[in-house]
Amino acid sequence: MPSAKYEIRRKCEECGAVFIAKTLESHYCSKACTQKAYNKRKAENKKREQMDAILSTVPNGRDYISVAEAEAMFGISGKTIRRMIKSGKVSAINLGERLTRVSKSALLSMVPLRDFPIDHSKSLPKFYSLEPEDCYTIGEISKKFGINDSTVYAHIRKYSIPTRQIGNYVYAPKSEIDNLYKDVVKI
């Protein structure tokens, strides 16, 4: 089998360095960056879970909420909330040391609610055009990206890219293929 005449050049999503990705799924330049990104994601998830837990205990009818509750609701830092209180942008009451309560309705009128992560498992199915004019043949893909036919077939199966056969030709949607190989360069 001929060796691949292509490489995948990517920017490391952690440190920004350009590196040669070993596979289409490689997004980091090194083990250290993979680990760093993993730790970051884990910390973010934990923080999100904590905020979700706090949020679920905020009673609906109460306007004055704690700074921690406001953080959980709006995803802004306690520092920012305190600054808004200090400058008089939002009304607050002080029930004692570290017992500041801030007006939920005032914040609602100024700050968007915290972003909740999109659940991709529930996203709508994609629709592809498999009309020949919207597709490449396997041969065209191979030529365009410098990847041999069998590797193209392997990727198509691996990434579940839809195909259509007309006569002797197998077609795959241009949009999916361009996206799959966007970082691939011929060498």
In angstroms, give the least distance from the CB of 20 to Zn ion.
Answer: 12
Q: Which is nearer to Zn ion, 14 or 71 (CB)?
A: 14
Interacting residues with Zn ion (CB under 5 A): 12, 14-15, 29, 33
- Interacting residues of 6 by C-beta distance below 8 A, sequence separation 6+: 145, 146, 147, 184, 185, 186, 187
Answer for the pair 52, 72: CB distance below 8 angstroms, yes or no. yes
Residue 71 has phi, psi (to 5 degrees) of -60, -45
From residue 144, alpha-carbon distances to 128, 148, 183 in Å are: 21, 10, 13
The CB density around residue 174, as the number of other CB atoms within 10 Å, is 17
In angstroms, give the least distance from the CB of 140 to Zn ion.
Answer: 34
In angstroms, give the least distance from the CB of 181 to Zn ion.
Answer: 22
In angstroms, give the least distance from the CB of 17 to Zn ion.
Answer: 5
Q: Which is nearer to Zn ion, 14 or 69 (CB)?
A: 14
Answer for the pair 149, 4: CB distance below 8 angstroms, yes or no. no
Q: Which is nearer to Zn ion, 16 or 117 (CB)?
A: 16
Q: Which is nearer to Zn ion, 10 or 155 (CB)?
A: 10
Among 186, 183, 142, 187, residue whose Cα is nearest residue 21:
183
